[in-house]
Amino acid sequence: MTDTEKYENFMRRCIELAKIAKKRGDSPVGSIIVKDGQVVAEGIEGDKTHNDITFHAEIEAVRNATLSLGKTDLSDCFMVTTHEPCIMCSYVIRHYKIGLLIVGMTTGEIGGYSSALPILTDRTISKWTAPPEIIDKILEQECKELHN
């Protein structure tokens, strides 16, 4: 299995999670954290459900990963998410040192790397490690169709 096929399989799980979010009235975003080829945590967008903006899928996945792994350094993990992480989620990804990010679709104006505030790729914050490698457009069309 190639890396692309592996990432597509993980993205399919994220799409399933995004559909759960959409069904309950939240933005259709799903995210997972993978370590050693295994999903160790999942996150479903829930800011409307919980009436709390911090319930973004990426932040939920990180919260669940730190609980399940018992550590805050996630540099040996990677994240897969249907949408480019927003600026808030990007800060969390950098703080927890996630080194690889697999993304379905970009979000533009509020995105962590495609916006005017590219926190995910910023190299000027000296206390952060190197920016994560970003591989995007994995099942991009399927991720865009979540908004139909």
pLDDT digits (tens, 9 = 90+) for 126-145: 999 999 999 999 999 999 99
Q: Does residue 95 lie in a domain region?
A: yes
Q: Does residue 19 lie in a domain region?
A: yes
Q: How crowded is the C-beta side of 107, counted as CA atoms within 13 Å?
A: 20
Q: Does residue 147 lie in a domain region?
A: no
Q: Which tens digits make up the pLDDT trace of 48-93?
A: 999 999 999 999 999 999 999 999 999 999 999 999 999 999 999 9
Distance CA 129, CA 37 (A): 23
Answer whether residue 1 shows pLDDT above 90: no
Answer whether residue 97 shows pLDDT above 90: yes
User: Average of pLDDT values for 106-112?
Assistant: 93
Residues annotated catalytic, as ranges:
58
User: Average of pLDDT values for 11-23?
Assistant: 98
Residue-number span of the structural domain to which 88 is assigned: 5-140
Containing 145, the helix (H) or strand (E) segment is helix 140-145
User: Average of pLDDT values for 31-55?
Assistant: 97
Q: Does residue 145 lie in a domain region?
A: no
The pLDDT-based confidence of 3 (bands split at 50, 70, 90) is: confident
Q: Does residue 99 lie in a domain region?
A: yes
CATH code of 68's domain: 3.40.140.10
User: Average of pLDDT values for 85-109?
Assistant: 96
Containing 124, the helix (H) or strand (E) segment is none
Check residue 123 and give its pLDDT.
Answer: 95
Q: How crowded is the C-beta side of 41, counted as CA atoms within 13 Å?
A: 22
Q: Does residue 123 lie in a domain region?
A: yes
Nearest Cα to Cα of residue 57 among 95, 25, 89:
89
Total number of domains in the chain: 1
Contact 108, 37 (CB under 8 A): no
Helix 57-69 to helix 87-95 angle, to the nearest 10 degrees?
20
Q: What angle do CA 63, 27, 37 make, to 5 degrees?
A: 45
Q: Does residue 148 lie in a domain region?
A: no
